[in-house]
Amino acid sequence: MTDCYIARSSAAARALGGSAVIMSADSSLITLNEVATAIWNAADGVTLLSEIVERAVCGQFEIDPSTARADAEDFINRLAQHGVLIVSNQPIHSAESSARS
Amino acid sequence: MAEHDICVEIGGLPILLKNADARFQRKMRERYSGFVSERPADCCLEVILCSKDRSGTSDADIRVERSAQLWRITRGDFEAEWDPHTRRGWVRQTANPYSIDTALRIIHSLELAAQGGFLLHSSSVIRNGRAFLFSGVSGAGKTTISRLAPGDATLLTDEISYVRPDGSAFRAFGTPFAGELAKPGENVSAPIAELFLLAKGPDNHVEDVHPANAARALLRNVLFFADDSRLTTALLNTACDFVSRVPVRRLTFYPDHRVWDLIQ
């Protein structure tokens, strides 16, 4: 996967005990682990995924960069399939409007 | 209120059941006997009796859809509409108690979702002024544990717990919605002390549950049929608020009275 920008959609989400809990549009409840929650919290639409992995994952957890990147790509693909994360090769300034377009 | 109308108040929400059939209303008065109220009701449900009986009476057959301002509720044995703004509606059904029971559950679940509460597949009892909820899938032991409760415990329900926010805490109310015990709960309420997620096992023990897993387990057992993003978001927030404020633990138990030594 080439580098990309990621942003949270308008899906309902809450932080609980250090984990993000997300309700997708089809009412699936998604619970993220610590690492995935760090990526989710950093998904502001204007920071490249590579920077997020470096700062929020490799900088905070003992995970080697190539594993972290592979895990992150797998994770964002799954969240994108549920419609709760937007992935783009351009910065995403409004997650909700991007989600609708 | 007309001669045969009755007001059924569950969870502090009085709903007037309007129907001119004296025999049916007498049955309703018996079924909801502990919950008949003299309070003026803000909510009104007209019960329209018909002779047509259709198939499909399981919860899996229920459809709850929003059409403009109205909720439309259908199952094989009844159809209903509910206006959440005027808090009025109707149900068309044969003269049986099961259809009105289900219609009332769904109307309460819709009203509660908008107010930060929910109906939960769980039994609940009050002991020493505090409510304990026991949730789980069918066969997990909801009825068993309420049957094993000590004599000083008050049954709120063995089937559907009624939960609404109460300041910074949550309160459980008794309901007439009975399960295997075929016994309605008492019409009382108490602050919720704990929610136990039930499993049967060879011995009795409790384990902590991560809040995210607690929210997941809670949502799995909430009675909620509406396909509505606004209410779904509200329900997620309610579930997260609940598990942040009320201890949720997994209770594995061997079905005899000693399990109650763990529930204090």
Q: Write down the pLDDT at residue B226.
A: 79
Chain B residues touching A14 at Cβ < 8 A: 215, 236-237, 240
C-alpha to C-alpha distance for B45 and B104, rounded to whole angstroms? 9
The CA-atom distances, in angstroms, between B263 and each of A65, A94, B164, B252 are 48, 49, 22, 12
- The pTM of the whole model exceeds 0.90: no
Evaluate if residue B2 carries a pLDDT over 80: no
The CA-atom distances, in angstroms, between B27 and each of A61, B24, B100, B136 are 64, 5, 11, 31
C-alpha to C-alpha distance for A69 and A39, rounded to whole angstroms? 11
Residues of A with CB under 8 A from a CB of B: 12, 14, 16-17, 19, 21, 23, 25, 27, 29, 31
Within 8 A by CB and 6+ apart from B67, the residues are none
B75-115, pLDDT tens digit by residue?
989 999 999 999 999 999 999 888 999 999 999 999 999 99
Q: Indicate the helix (H) or strand (E) that contains B25.
A: helix B22-31
Query: Hey, of A29, A37, A40, which one would you mutate to test binding to chain B, going by the most B CBs within 10 A of its CB?
Result: A29
C-alpha to C-alpha distance for A80 and A32, rounded to whole angstroms? 14
Asked if B236 and A16 come within 8 Å (Cβ–Cβ), the reply is no
**Average pLDDT of the residues in B50-63:** 72
pLDDT averaged over every residue in chain B: 91
Evaluate if residue A101 carries a pLDDT over 50: no
C-alpha to C-alpha distance for B209 and B215, rounded to whole angstroms? 10
Evaluate if residue A97 carries a pLDDT over 50: no
3-state secondary structure B99-157: HHHHHHHHHHHHHHHHCCCEEEEEEEEEECCEEEEEECCCCCCHHHHHHCCCCCCEEEE
B193-249, pLDDT tens digit by residue?
999 999 989 999 999 999 999 999 999 999 987 778 788 889 999 999 999 999 999
B161-188, pLDDT tens digit by residue?
999 999 999 999 999 988 776 788 999 9
Within 8 A by CB and 6+ apart from B104, the residues are B8, B10, B15, B45
**Alpha helix locations (H) across chain A?**
34-42, 49-52, 65-81, 95-100
Residue A10 exposure: Cα atoms within 13 Å on the Cβ side: 10
C-alpha to C-alpha distance for A6 and A27, rounded to whole angstroms? 22
A21-65, pLDDT tens digit by residue?
998 877 788 999 999 999 999 999 999 999 999 999 998 898 999
Q: Write down the pLDDT at residue B34.
A: 94
Evaluate if residue B35 carries a pLDDT over 80: yes
Nearest to B237 among A14, A27, A29 (CB): A14
C-alpha to C-alpha distance for B54 and B246, rounded to whole angstroms? 42
Lowest mean pLDDT among A32-46, B112-126, B135-149: B135-149
Position B118 confidence tier, pLDDT thresholds 50, 70, 90: very high
Evaluate if residue A98 carries a pLDDT over 50: no
Asked if A16 and B219 come within 8 Å (Cβ–Cβ), the reply is no
